[in-house]
Amino acid sequence: MNRLRVVWTVTVKELLDFVRDWRTLAAMLLVPLILFPIIFVAVPWFLQGEAEELGGYTVEVKILIEQDIDVPLDFIHLLNSSNIIYQILDTSFDNNQSLANHSEILEDASFSIRNGELDAVIALRSGTGNASENWEYVIFSDSTDELSRESRSRLLTQIDIWEDGIIDETLLNNALERDDVYDPVTWDGAVEAADTATSGEQAAFAFALFVPFIISLWAATSAVQPSIDLTAGERERGTLEALLTTPIARSDLMWGKWLAVATIASASVLLQLVGLYVAIRYLAADILTPPSVSIMGWSLFVITILLFAIFVVAVEMAVAMRARSVKEAGSTLGPMVILFIGPALFAQFVNMESIESWWFIAPVFNICLGMRASLLGDVSVIHASLWMGSSLLYALMATTWASKQFNREDLVESIS
């Protein structure tokens, strides 16, 4: 029988077996599809919702004001408009110490915040200076308590507004404008308008910083489960022995399985790209600019991912085939994925300017840098040849090694 037909028979069977398992199907196809929409849409939406929820809470604050001085009315008005309940307590401060060094106040504030009586304490006293008003303050809060953190944030916001008012009044008293003091050297016009990169190129630059990492991470992890299932799993379930008694060559068996896992992993990664496209094109179109990448760039990007998938799948299948059980394969491949993730993580930070060529032949780095270069449209023929050639070489080496594992005599042995 034609060897290609045998390989195809194995692949078809494995894919059929795969699509019958809805849990695996969901994990391998649905999750990558919704991953980027979740990152770009659901996460910001969720964070915004949480922030709004926190903003709706009323917080309780104690204002410690220097004796015989009233809390400024402007500040009181601002507190009233920001959902802050406050109590005012006249306090004697040691003028020789900064407000932050009043340990008794700190202890009292800590006690009240921990007991839930208060969310923050602000100490306020008059200061020295030539502004229309001068004040000193400190906010005691608990950075590990959400409401206390929120109180601090609201107080700082209102203090900024109050301070702006004092600045404006001081400037007015001296016949000055705000720009005269703060911005005597002025950028004239919109900052974005002066960027020679188009908004699409800027988006591509931003994408190139993290998309290769996420995709290589997913390619490495998505192949783990099917690799184990089709090798150690088949061995453990006893289905492999029956298969080895047929006239199939072990190398053909390996290629058939490899093609199935590579198809699954590639489909998973490509769906991830579809999810990315949908997220930036439709779901988050108002906050994200679609990256401007040429067709050649996208083509190189996809080819690079596929080469990586070939390499990763072969390595993972070979390792899984060496294992005596699914458990052993899982314990080996789980930590081993770090070998792929680690370089992918570092590759994000490699400076692409005048980059040394050897980066493009270093395993995993070559793939991630190749993806970055493709997205940035900064592809040189030498670099492309290096990363494609080395990827192909690694893929061949990995498949040869995997093939050797499939030829081991002890593929069939007692599991007990």
Asked if residue 6 binds another protein (CB under 8 A), the reply is yes
CA distances from 57 to 118, 143, 157, 182, 323 (A): 13, 17, 16, 35, 55
Quick check: 298 and 274 in contact, CB under 8 A? no
Q: How far is the CB of 326 from another protein (least distance, A)?
A: 15
Burial of 130 (0-12, 13-18, 19+ CB in 10 A): exposed
Q: How far is the CB of 270 from another protein (least distance, A)?
A: 24
Asked if residue 88 binds another protein (CB under 8 A), the reply is no
Degrees, nearest 5: CA angle 242-245-246:
100
Using CA atoms, how far apart are residues 343 and 212, in angstroms rounded to an integer? Answer: 11
Closest CA to 308 of 385, 217, 211: 217
Restricted to residues 186-245, the positions that interact with another protein (CB under 8 A) are: 237-245
Among 56, 189, 247, 335, binds another protein (CB under 8 A): 247
| Largest Cα–Cα separation, the chain | 101
Question: How far, rounded to the nearest angstrom, does the alpha carbon of residue 147 sit from its chain's CA centroid?
Answer: 27
Q: How far is the CB of 284 from another protein (least distance, A)?
A: 38
Q: How far is the CB of 414 from another protein (least distance, A)?
A: 4
Asked if residue 76 binds another protein (CB under 8 A), the reply is no
Question: In terms of CB distance, is 356 or 410 closer to another protein?
Answer: 410
**Alpha helices per DSSP H over 29-102:** 31-37, 43-55, 73-80
Rg, C-alpha atoms of the chain: 31
Question: In terms of CB distance, is 7 or 59 closer to another protein?
Answer: 7
- Residue 17 has, within 13 A of its CA and on its CB side, a CA count of 15
Return the residue matching tokens 């492999």: 240
Among 156, 324, 337, 345, binds another protein (CB under 8 A): 324
Q: How far is the CB of 240 from another protein (least distance, A)?
A: 7
Q: How far is the CB of 406 from another protein (least distance, A)?
A: 13
Question: In terms of CB distance, is 390 or 403 closer to another protein?
Answer: 403
Question: In terms of CB distance, is 13 or 149 closer to another protein?
Answer: 13
Structure tokens at 221: 């992890």
Using CA atoms, how far apart are residues 270 and 365, in angstroms rounded to an integer? Answer: 20
Question: In terms of CB distance, is 16 or 172 closer to another protein?
Answer: 16
Q: Which stretch binds another protein (CB under 8 A): 50-58, 163-171, 280-288, 404-412?
A: 404-412
Restricted to residues 102-121, the positions that interact with another protein (CB under 8 A) are: none
Using CA atoms, how far apart are residues 398 and 318, in angstroms rounded to an integer? Answer: 8
Question: In terms of CB distance, is 101 or 407 closer to another protein?
Answer: 407
Q: How far is the CB of 251 from another protein (least distance, A)?
A: 13
Quick check: 135 and 126 in contact, CB under 8 A? yes
Among 186, 196, 351, 414, binds another protein (CB under 8 A): 414
Total site size for another protein, rule CB under 8 A:
28
Asked if residue 23 binds another protein (CB under 8 A), the reply is no
Q: How far is the CB of 238 from another protein (least distance, A)?
A: 3
Q: Which residues bind another protein (CB under 8 A)?
A: 1, 5-6, 9-10, 13, 16-17, 20-21, 237-248, 324, 409-410, 412-414
